[in-house]
Amino acid sequence: MTGSQIFSQFLSGVSRGMILFFISSGLTLIFGVMNILNFAHASFWLVGAYFTWTFWKIFYSPAFGLWISIPLAALTMAGIGWIIEVILIRRVYERSLPEQLLLTYALVLVIGDVIKLTWGVEDRIVTRPKGMDGFINIFGAPFPTYYIFVIGLGGFVAWGLWWLLHKTKFGRTVRASVFSREMVGALGIPVHRIYAGVFALSLFIAGLAGGVQAPISSITLGMDMSIIVECFAVVVIGGFGSLPGALVGSLIVGLVYAFAILIIPKMALVLIFVVTAIVLIVRPWGLFGTPMRA
Amino acid sequence: MERITRCKIGGLGIIILLAICFLFPLPVKAAEPYHLGVVLGLTGTGAMYSRDGKNAIEMAIEEINKEGGFLKKHPIKLFIRDDQTKPDIGVREAKDLILREKVKCILGTYSSAVGLAVEDVCYEYKVLHIPAISNTEAMTVDNYSPYTYQVVPNTYMQAMGQVIGISKYAKQKGWKSFASIGSDYEWGHSTVNYFVDNMKKALPEFKLAKQYWPKLGETEFSSYITAVIGDKPDFVYAALASKDNIAWMKQAKPYGFFDKFPYACLISVTEMVEMKDELPRGVIGETRAPFFAHLDIPMMANFIKNYRAKYNEYPSDWAVMEYDAVYALKQGVEKAKSIDIEKVKNGLKGLTVNTTRGKLYFRKIDNMLNCQSYIGIIADDPKYPFPIYKDLVIITGEESWRPESEVPGVREKSGLAKKRKPEELKF
Amino acid sequence: MLKLVVFRSYGWLILAVAASIVLPMVVGVFWVHVLTEILIMGLFATSFNLLFGYMGQLSFGQAAYYGIGAYTTALMITKASIPLPICMITSILLAGICALIFGYFCVRLIGIYFAILTMAFGQLVFYIIFQWYGFTGGDNGIQGIPVPLLLQDPYVYYYFTLAVVIAALIVMWFIINSPFGYTMRAIRDNSNRTRFIGINIRQYMLINFVISGMFAGLAGSLWAPFNRSIAPDLANWGHSGIPVFMAVIGGPLGFFGPLVGSVVYTFLSAFVTGFTEYWPIIIGIIIILIVLFLPGGILGTLQQKTQPAEINNSKKETG
């Protein structure tokens, strides 16, 4: 294996990890703030991808179509997120864990068929914008320019989330309500609106992720079911409720996968599960989580 | 008070349950209409192919019913079920169709795994079965059933077709090594294995260098792309599931992959239409029933015309094959002069049928139609808004199917004799 | 008063057993298949409920043991023609051993971590079955599983399944109503206090986990010859969700809840798939409605409506 080959695999692992980070960040945020594991998060991601396609079809323009569609899809998902939080999620905060899990799992089934009813069963294709459909050579290894955008955007989202949570009033309130919901409520701050905001924000990022994903592969039914399992692995490894954990976990999963397929080709996914199981056994709260936050 | 209420509720519940169960086993009608079942993966990875198949079947049934149905007196009643691309759901739906709707024949299944499961159900209940999209060779050779007739070139034939086509190029261009990338499931594995084994026999100096097996449903291929680029093979052979193949080609193109490496894979009309802008020109594609290969056959020309009028799109390979399946059944019924299952089964044996792909016959030893495989180079064509094959090479069934002499050996290995009656395995 | 209470509880049971014996004689053969499926899935769901309703933990990986049971039986019959009873016993044992190994790690966690670890182990089993074509047939699964001549008739198989399931339910009933079972409930309701009185929680949870896995394996071994065909999907996490649905629909706090849930779920799915392909959205909406408005499931809600208020309050669900 030459140096540039290794570097090439490394870069592909990083971009794979970034896509996982987009989805896992929202997943871990919802868990961290509201203590709900949203099985349906990848399904929302997929809906975001489909919306991106719809907008892209409407604003058809090879150069700019995507740049308009992605934010629009993300905003649409944020709106949908707000509505779903108010109608459904809000009702199960006080309920037991199994009921919460069941609700979000049932949502997966519902969303799957809603996608089928709205967009049909055909695969949807979005092409990469002109100027981002080629590759550049980094240390002798070819690397698609679009992935540079993905990695860059991922970094920006990570930074943006950190800034939001640490430098804004909204963020401070969110972190306070994680610490003590009652106190925040007692201070007269409408906690339910905070939660709705967090849920909408998570879905905004999921929608963004869906939009970013759209030109990478075709948009098809069932993508959500396969990626949610990897996202769970990320959240376990990184730690439930921790954003830095989601970033590190995503990179670990992406890189492990990228190199595993070279060394033990058929067992790459099994390896991820083994790692997840080991983390849960040895250190259930992951790398960055707080102990036993069940 | 409570006890009475509970007893009332319970009694009512049981009465309702019994009533529903009584309603459902409807009195058996006189043998007038022909009940035809369709089991397809309408949800799942093959949803698009299944949808096309369903459309073609419905159109064929309409045409035949306009003349009064089979033998002009048995109108066909269609029952369509979704197997969700899962074998046990396929079994349940097939059983439902056979026991409840009393179908005489089941068409379809997209996934080979479901196809095998449904084949066994049809064998057990003695109902005809024409898969038409599932094409694992196991259905006709390893797991042969006298009730199953196959109208799509099977995995062996398709791989052989590629061996014949590609060994020509390999000899011409002096290729020495190749890499394979196959989706990690049965179809992917058997396709790659048949190709590798037969290529070894055809061109021993053309060596397999590396194999990759991305998981079924993989959406992120960059790690595989960079790995293959690093291997620097002379040629890349791919057997990726339809959706995965699209993602793969989309992602590999920006790496300049297809300029660097000659590449061959299954590219059906569906991919040609769906990826019309993105499909890399110059790759070597193979498919099972492209409409443009038989424009000179009247049945095909009519089919294209009517299909476009009804559905506003060109028929994909899957539509062509399910259409052929219905008409093969029709010709079997006509040969038998009856809709009785056993008579039709015997009528179809070794029968020559008119299909959109020409006049073809079912080989007796495995009920396999001697249908062709099609290889060509993806290129634009002024007649169509999407690219098709140029330099089309058509490989006949006889050139590509497993030689009859090898069939008993394979069946012995699979233990078929345990599952079938001895007289059914005599030819 | 006692006689009334006894009749109230057992009257239903007698009615249900009578119905299960009589129904096949009056309905079409297709529904006999559905009834057999209801029984097998009901057994699976009841085994799951040992962990869920009685121990208070949600396992999203029970399909692993169900799948192991199904594959063990299928492989033993197809490859070595071993008689069915031996296959079934082996399935139970193998599923139990697997549950012992995985359970050893799972019972060290609770809540969401428990759920995800069971899911991870379940996926592990699924992928191993899926990848190992040489042995398990991979994604093709195993087709044409031969059934002993005696059991080939669907009616006979139904009564055979009924006998096995009733026997299994009786065993589970005794387990649940034994001191062991009451300890389980104590662990569910307040694990700290239970620990304080000297009970080794992990050991009890592990034993329960193994028992649950064994019965799941039994259900799987009944399924393989019934369906004549199995596929790796039986061990997938989606399949693990089905006993969860059944327990929730029927009511996890009652012994017969999962069975009632199986009747509703299986019957609905057979019925609905007859005229639409959109089954997932229908079951999804039903589950959402039940979670939001009928938290005790069907049996739980019926119980609330027909029992006096004092008994109601003491049965507050904790999950």
Could you tell me if residue A38 is inside a domain?
A: yes
pLDDT of residue C9: 65
Q: pLDDT per residue over A233-255, tens digit each?
A: 999 999 888 889 999 999 999 99
Residues of C in contact with B124 (CB under 8 A): 228
Residues of B in contact with C15 (CB under 8 A): 10, 14
Could you tell me if residue C154 is inside a domain?
A: yes
Task: Place B297 in a pLDDT band, splitting at 50, 70 and 90.
Answer: very high
pLDDT of residue B319: 96
pLDDT of residue C43: 97
**Alpha carbon separation from A162 to A165, A167, A253, C196 (Å, rounded):** 5, 8, 22, 43
Task: Place C319 in a pLDDT band, splitting at 50, 70 and 90.
Answer: very low
Partner-chain contact B3 C4, CB within 8 Å: yes
Q: pLDDT per residue over B200-249, tens digit each?
A: 988 888 889 889 988 888 888 888 888 898 888 999 999 998 888 888 99
ipTM above 0.90, yes or no: no
Q: Out of C52, C284, C319, whose CB is closest to A106?
A: C284
Share of chain A above pLDDT 70, in %: 98
Helix (H, G, I), strand (E, B) or coil at B170: helix
Domain that includes residue A175, residue range = 16-223
> Does the structure show a pLDDT above 70 at B29?
no
CA B353-B358-B359 angle, to 5 degrees, is 35
Give the chains touching C; criterion: ≥3 Cβ pairs < 8 Å.
A, B
Q: For the residues A40-66, what does the mean pLDDT come to?
A: 88
B252: nearest CA partner in chain A: A144
Q: pLDDT per residue over A191-216, tens digit each?
A: 888 889 999 999 999 999 999 988 88
Q: For the residues B308-319, what does the mean pLDDT come to?
A: 95
Distance from CA of C200 to the nearest CA of A (A): 19
Distance from CA of C52 to the nearest CA of A (A): 9
Q: What is the DSSP letter of B312?
A: S
Q: Return the minimum-mean-pLDDT range out of A20-29, B67-76, B209-218, C242-251.
A: B209-218
> Does the structure show a pLDDT above 70 at A1?
no
Residues of C in contact with B137 (CB under 8 A): none
> Does the structure show a pLDDT above 70 at C313?
no
The residues spanned by each domain of chain B are: 34-154+295-372+403-425, 156-288+374-400
DSSP string, chain A: --HHHHHHHHHHHHHHHHHHHHHHHHHHHHHHHH----TTHHHHHHHHHHHHHHHHHHT--TTTHHHHHHHHHHHHHHHHHHHHHHHTGGGGTTS-HHHHHHHHHHHHHHHHHHHHHHH-SS-B--PPPTTSSSEEEETTEEEEHHHHHHHHHHHHHHHHHHHHHHHSHHHHHHHHHHH-HHHHHHTT--HHHHHHHHHHHHHHHHHHHHHHHTTTS-B-TTHHHHHHHHHHHHHHHH-TT-HHHHHHHHHHHHHHHHHHHHHSGGGHHHHHHHHHHHHHHH-TTTTTSPTT--
The architecture of the domain spanning B34-154+295-372+403-425 is 3-Layer(aba) Sandwich (3.40)
Q: Which residue has the higher pLDDT, A291 or B393?
A: B393
Q: For the residues B96-108, what does the mean pLDDT come to?
A: 92
Q: Return the minimum-mean-pLDDT range out of A57-71, B60-74, B257-271, C210-224.
A: A57-71
pLDDT of residue B174: 87
Tally of domains within chain C:
1
pLDDT of residue C1: 46
Could you tell me if residue C60 is inside a domain?
A: yes
The pTM for the full model equals 0.87
- Look at strands B235-239 and B177-182 and give their pairing: parallel
- Token reading at A37: 């594991």
Distance from CA of B338 to the nearest CA of A (A): 38
> Does the structure show a pLDDT above 70 at B1?
no
Distance from CA of B255 to the nearest CA of A (A): 6
Residues of B in contact with C307 (CB under 8 A): 2
C127: nearest CA partner in chain B: B215
CATH (residue range B156-288+374-400): 3.40.50.2300
User: At A194, phi and psi to the nearest 5?
Assistant: -60, -45
pLDDT of residue B190: 85
pLDDT of residue A104: 92
> Does the structure show a pLDDT above 50 at C318?
no
Residues of C in contact with B43 (CB under 8 A): 277
Q: pLDDT per residue over C129-159, tens digit each?
A: 988 888 888 887 888 888 888 888 889 999 9
Q: Out of B96, B112, B113, whose CB is closest to C30?
A: B96
Q: Return the minimum-mean-pLDDT range out of C72-81, C91-100, C190-199, C223-232.
A: C190-199
- Token reading at B257: 């992959």
Task: Place C317 in a pLDDT band, splitting at 50, 70 and 90.
Answer: very low
* CB–CB contacts below 8 A, A to B: 116
Q: For the residues C69-90, what does the mean pLDDT come to?
A: 93
Closest by Cα among C25, C37, C30, C158 to B25: C30
Interface test with A, best of B45, B215, B219, B253 (most A CBs within 10 A): B219
Task: Place B7 in a pLDDT band, splitting at 50, 70 and 90.
Answer: low
Q: For the residues C201-207, what does the mean pLDDT come to?
A: 91
Share of chain B above pLDDT 70, in %: 93
Helix (H, G, I), strand (E, B) or coil at B261: coil
Q: For the residues B350-360, what does the mean pLDDT come to?
A: 95
Q: pLDDT per residue over B42-57, tens digit each?
A: 887 788 899 999 999 9
Tally of domains within chain A:
1
- What's chain A's average pLDDT? 87
User: At C59, phi and psi to the nearest 5?
Assistant: -105, 125
Cβ pair A95, A27 in contact under 8 A:
no
Q: Which residue has the higher pLDDT, B243 or B6?
A: B243
Could you tell me if residue A53 is inside a domain?
A: yes
Task: Place C2 in a pLDDT band, splitting at 50, 70 and 90.
Answer: very low
Q: For the residues C248-257, what does the mean pLDDT come to?
A: 90
Q: For the residues A66-76, what does the mean pLDDT come to?
A: 90
pLDDT of residue B404: 93
Residues of A in contact with C123 (CB under 8 A): 229, 273
> Does the structure show a pLDDT above 90 at B19?
no
**A210 Cβ contact list (under 8 Å, min separation 6):** A44, A45, A46, A47, A48, A49, A50, A51, A52, A73, A77
Q: Out of A116, A134, A141, whose CB is closest to B226?
A: A141
Q: How far apart are CA C82 and CA B249, in angstroms?
A: 48
pLDDT of residue A294: 36
